[in-house]
Structure 1
Amino acid sequence: MTDHPLVPADFAVPRTLVAEGFRLEPLGEQHNESDHAAWTSSIEYIRADAGFTGGWPPAGGMTPEQNLADLRRHAADFEQRRGFTYTVLEPDADVVVGCVYIYPDRADPSVTKVCSWVRADRAELDAVLRRTVSAWLAESWPLREVRYSPR
């Protein structure tokens, strides 16, 4: 990951996206319990996704404290504009059903890499999330080249 901002200083980074079946907001400490429950319930499903070949999530899981440290790191990246992680929430409740990660590609920082996951019990949301986020990034973000990891 680069220490340089992913987006220009004058770009107002969206704080939310409301769509059919879900809403996005920046991932933060307040999501720890629900986030931890969401991904630990779906480790095998998430690891089967092509976007998560780097060993996340860990097969043995993480403690809630380790998860909180991870959320804090993502929140710091967001505030420093190095990368943006959004939690995927139920439309009308603060229940985590997934995450979206928007970061510079490690091999080519001029490319923005996007990947996402949803809980296994919300698998039907996966394609909708990918289509919606892809359109949102193309229409509303100042990113030159975006590569959304295929499922």
Structure 2
Amino acid sequence: MAKPLTKDVAALDYAAYMASPDVVRVHSDGRWPVEGFTLQQDLKLVAKHQADHEARRAFTFVLLATLEGEALGCLYLNPLHEYLRRVRAKPQTMDTFPPDSAMVTFWLRQDQQGTGLAEVVAEAVNDWLVNDWPIKMHLFRILPGEWTSRAALERLPLRRIDLLLPGEERPYLWYQPR
């Protein structure tokens, strides 16, 4: 179950995050803190995510186990065009995607890697965005080392696309619905 990331579920989010140091390092390419990261620091980030969600600028969801009251990871829907501008994409790249397109990223708890959960999440998120979310296009973005997520995305009816992004140093892989 996906629920907006708010202060009400911050403790669950924090527990999942701290239980997943290797996943967090790979997903963030080492940019997100792990050692010494506190719940108070997480609450500040959650407040920003909550404000963005409420203002409809970006959407962050915590993925919850239905019966256990446990967070399984997070899902992020961010404006694709904003990212493309930040990494100095060429106008023809920008024009390829409608202005209301989303960039989709997610991570799952370390103890959930290789369990099949990534396939369930990727398929559910893709179906949800295609059928129920009011956007025209979405792209999944992952790093090559996100093996479980990569395998899950490659099983879906998505096509891998290459984006020329002069200002992006990371070797992101991009997947688009067919």
Could you say which TM-score interval applies, normalised by the shorter chain? 0.7 to 0.9
Number of the residue aligned with 2:47? 72
The residue matched to 2:69 in structure 1 has which SS?
coil
TM-score (norm 2): 0.65
- Give runs of ≥4 in structure 1 deviating > 3 Å: none
Contact 1:115 / 1:149 at 8 angstroms: preserved in 2?
Answer: yes
CA RMSD across the alignment: 1.8
Contact 2:63 / 2:72 at 8 angstroms: preserved in 1?
Answer: yes
The residue matched to 1:149 in structure 2 has which SS?
strand
After superposition, give the CA deviation of every residue in 1:118-139 in whole Å (9 maximum; x if it has no partner): 1011122122111110110011
Instruction: Supply the distance in 2 between the matched residues of 1:77 and 1:116 (Cα, whole angstroms).
Output: 17
Contact 2:18 / 2:34 at 8 angstroms: preserved in 1?
Answer: no
Number of the residue aligned with 2:4? 26
Number of the residue aligned with 2:29? 53
Amino acid at match of 1:55: R
Specify which of 76, 80, 84 is matched with residue 107 of structure 1.
84
Distance 1:86 1:127, change over 3 A: same
Flag structure 1 segments of 5+ consecutive residues without an equivalent: 1-22
Distance 1:61 1:140, change over 3 A: farther
| Residue 62 in structure 1 maps to residue 40 in structure 2 | no
Moved more, 103-112 or 140-149: 103-112
Structure with bigger helix share is 2
Contact 1:28 / 1:71 at 8 angstroms: preserved in 2?
Answer: yes
Specify which of 98, 120, 129 is matched with residue 73 of structure 2.
98
TM-score (norm 1): 0.75
Question: 1:61 Cα deviation (Å)?
Answer: 4.8
Instruction: Supply the distance in 2 between the matched residues of 1:120 and 1:141 (Cα, whole angstroms).
Output: 28
Question: 1:30 Cα deviation (Å)?
Answer: 1.5
| Residue 130 in structure 1 maps to residue 107 in structure 2 | no
Flag structure 2 segments of 5+ consecutive residues without an equivalent: 86-93, 143-149, 151-178
Distance 1:59 1:95, change over 3 A: closer
Question: 1:53 Cα deviation (Å)?
Answer: 3.3
Distance 1:130 1:61, change over 3 A: farther
Number of the residue aligned with 1:86? 61
| Residue 148 in structure 1 maps to residue 140 in structure 2 | yes
Contact 1:104 / 1:112 at 8 angstroms: preserved in 2?
Answer: yes
Specify which of 4, 12, 17 is matched with residue 39 of structure 1.
17
Distance 1:77 1:126, change over 3 A: same
Amino acid at match of 2:84: A
